[in-house]
Structure 1
């Protein structure tokens, strides 16, 4: 019998479920809606039913060992989702206990960036590394931190909120309620805000000038920069300055071997990474200069969210064996 786990990625609209083996192959996958479920209990029951359906579709030669979940505001230590802003249910949702009642199997949960870090460690470009950081660059900015081969979860399971360190005091309003958070500058949303402000503050010619803010996307800015648009390139330069200086601070604290970039904005490649690297090196404590590699995620073209969640439970099962 082949051992497998379920990896679950909970999004605000849909939830993706995959059955994953030890080699990081997704053997089966499906999606159920996250929204419009009558109650949280019904949602968890539907998750269990869907996992069972996927297993049945694979035949009887696979045995499920556990369930790993990546979720917004997922607390590893509590085994719960805590006040996730983009989910319908509020408060502390005891996800792991509820799902274990249905499956009888160990279940772990963490936030999606932490799951991505474990996925990088077991299945991605971080294999063989013991100290690295994964930076997820999407609508916001998330991070997962690996130290001595282990995920850093912190006192109550929420460690790694690099996107919510203060990049500028009293700066841009963040969705978390604070002002000046890093993700308001270094994310797909942050890049849009930067480019639009530069358009407003300058008469410089740009192919983006007649695009309204509602229609402006980070992909459009990336394409403009790739085509030599000076304003789009300036937006990336500023984003690189903000992110690079903050990464210099992060390196001083963690001394990682590498920093991996993942997510839609990371697809900009060297247009983003080049200024990030320059400013990180410029502001870095001298002993660390030239030692930290900036790399693209090895999971960038895979279903990283499902693989990360699966890696989380594989890692948990290995820890239990070791004890």
Structure 2
């Protein structure tokens, strides 16, 4: 009879192109990790089989299933209540996919699923900048804008598991078209890496005679990283793009503060590599749009988790008591 106390969990971050997974101990150390592609148009059962080929040997090397409390997974449109991925726009699997059930069945280890942005917030609360906090918001500024809201130490998920989609809040009436949803003027259309590229295209077209290093790039090569690289070289249009992005993001954050009164808002994702170029205008706009009772009370900070590890840690945090 095995009397070993389970001491590990598996964290899986399921994205549109890659699934990253790892073995995590309670101190937040990733002992081993790997990844597989998710962009294949093959059915979900093929993905589960490929995951099993890579992950099962890792589990075996750490004592087998008896040594694991569970598997945590973050995924786009992951529903904590049902364990299903539901109508995820950036995954090839269509409709409702019972991913947690399939993985539980394959590995014989209980699997818990949630939205990927909520998983990131859990990771911040257990291992990152929000450790010890009971009221905070995480905002992931990547290809899209993800968010996780924690109030009174509990993740806000709503009656159907999909609460807290702050990236789809409308911030500009009749504004920029969101290609994935068809809505106009949502935060994700402006404050994501994709939004920064769209802003760069618009700014260059609106200022045709203004000299800019950004004009050296073909439109398809414009990214938030190239905008940053031009900004640090003193390019005025590039700096203006971050000022514009930060203003819209800061206005939105002010609304979120007045809704939930968090101790902190933690920014994470590729766009945060712009550092002060995005932080300063965001902080200024947030404070400017807060009413007096909320001013200078909320910390605005970057995540201190390693970007390569944070998603796995966040998913693993779902499992620990």
Q: TM-score range by the shorter chain?
A: over 0.9
Partner residue in 2 for 1:272: 278
Asked if the contact 2:59–2:65 (Cα under 8 Å) also holds between the matched residues in 1, the reply is no
Distance in structure 1 (CA, Å) of the matches to 2:156 and 2:305: 20
Q: CA deviation at 1:51?
A: 2.7
Q: CA deviation at 1:60?
A: 5.9
**Cα root mean square deviation, aligned:** 1.7
Pick closer, same or farther for the CA change 1:141–1:184 going to 2, 3 Å. Answer: same
Partner residue in 2 for 1:200: 205
Distance in structure 2 (CA, Å) of the matches to 1:117 and 1:98: 25
Q: 1:259 aligns with which of 242, 247, 265?
A: 265
Unaligned stretches of 5+ residues in structure 1: 319-323
Pick closer, same or farther for the CA change 1:13–1:301 going to 2, 3 Å. Answer: closer
Q: 2:250 aligns with which of 241, 244, 254?
A: 244
State whether structure 2 residue 128 is matched by structure 1 residue 124: yes
Q: CA deviation at 1:238?
A: 0.7
Asked if the contact 1:117–1:308 (Cα under 8 Å) also holds between the matched residues in 2, the reply is yes
Partner residue in 1 for 2:183: 178
Partner residue in 2 for 1:63: 67
Pick closer, same or farther for the CA change 1:238–1:8 going to 2, 3 Å. Answer: same
Pick closer, same or farther for the CA change 1:17–1:264 going to 2, 3 Å. Answer: same
Partner residue in 2 for 1:153: 157
Question: After alignment, is 295-304 or 269-278 more displaced?
Answer: 295-304
Question: After alignment, is 100-109 or 4-13 more displaced?
Answer: 100-109
Q: CA deviation at 1:74?
A: 0.8
Partner residue in 2 for 1:321: none
Q: CA deviation at 1:229?
A: 1.0
TM-score by length of 1: 0.93
Count of residues paired in the alignment: 315
Partner residue in 2 for 1:292: 298
Unaligned stretches of 5+ residues in structure 2: none
Asked if the contact 2:71–2:110 (Cα under 8 Å) also holds between the matched residues in 1, the reply is yes
Summarize the alignment of residues 1-323 of structure 1 with structure 2, pairs less than 5 Å apart: 1=4, 3-36=7-40, 38-59=42-63, 63-174=67-178, 175-202=180-207, 203-314=209-320, 318=321
